[in-house]
């Protein structure tokens, strides 16, 4: 499994981030950018605590509360998605259509890219409920690492 986000892709994501900020009239603050960069350059779907740890290496005064609020606003801006089990929120900077396999034992989140995810037909009754803006398939199970323990 590819566990590294290429520099090229990180740069693409960062410039998309800056475009979004401009569009929405938001300042590209150092803090907001570092928090975004941390998620956008990770394949690990980090939770807020993990993001905090990494951001603190560069910005030692950032609080967990700030990280939470910034992640929530980045999600509203359409730059991140929330994924994983509901007990603890994790964030994904990869906006390409993909699903997730979530290990119910260790909580690890694996990216699953599959054709059906993109061409999935929505049931007709969906129209009665509302308009779908995002589809996210999530599989739950026990990952190989946990199986071999």
Stretch 79-108: interaction string toward Zn ion, x if CB under 5 A: -------------x-x--------x-xx-x
Say whether residue 6 binds Zn ion (CB under 5 A). Answer: no
Site for Zn ion (CB under 5 A): how many residues? 9
119 φψ region: left (φ > 0), alpha (ψ -120 to 50), beta (else): alpha
Nearer to Zn ion, 62 or 85 (CB): 85
Cβ-proximal residues to 136 (8 Å cutoff; 6+ apart), any chain: 81, 83, 99, 100
Q: Which stretch binds Zn ion (CB under 5 A): 3-11, 61-69, 110-118, 133-141?
A: 110-118
Beta carbon of residue 114, minimum distance to Zn ion (angstroms, whole number): 13
Rounded to a whole number of angstroms, the minimum distance from the CB of residue 107 to Zn ion is: 7
Nearest to Zn ion of 104, 127 (CB atom): 104
Q: How far is the CB of 86 from Zn ion (least distance, A)?
A: 16
Instruction: Name the residue among 10, 31, 133, 131 with its Cα closest to residue 74.
Output: 31
Both structure tokens of 144: 């190989």
User: Which among 122, 107, 125, 35 is positioned nearest to 77, based on CA atoms?
Assistant: 35
Minimum separation from the CB atom of position 90 to Zn ion (A) = 9
Q: List residues binding Zn ion (CB under 5 A).
A: 92, 94, 103, 105-106, 108, 111, 143, 146
């Amino acid at each position: 499994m590819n566990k590294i986000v290429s520099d090229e892709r990180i740069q693409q994501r960062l410039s998309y981030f800056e475009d979004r900020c401009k569009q929405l009239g938001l300042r590209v603050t150092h803090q907001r950018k570092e928090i975004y960069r941390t998620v956008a350059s990770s394949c690990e779907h980090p939770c807020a605590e993990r993001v905090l740890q990494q951001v603190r290496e560069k910005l030692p005064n950032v609080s967990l509360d700030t990280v939470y609020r910034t992640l929530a606003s980045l999600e509203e801006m359409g730059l991140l998605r929330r994924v994983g089990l509901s007990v603890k929120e994790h964030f994904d900077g990869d906006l390409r259509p993909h699903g997730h396999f979530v290990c119910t034992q260790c909580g690890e989140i694996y990216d699953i890219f599959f054709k059906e995810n993109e061409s999935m037909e929505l049931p007709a009754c969906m129209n009665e409920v509302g308009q779908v803006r995002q589809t996210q398939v999530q599989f739950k199970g026990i990952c190989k690492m946990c199986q071999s323990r």
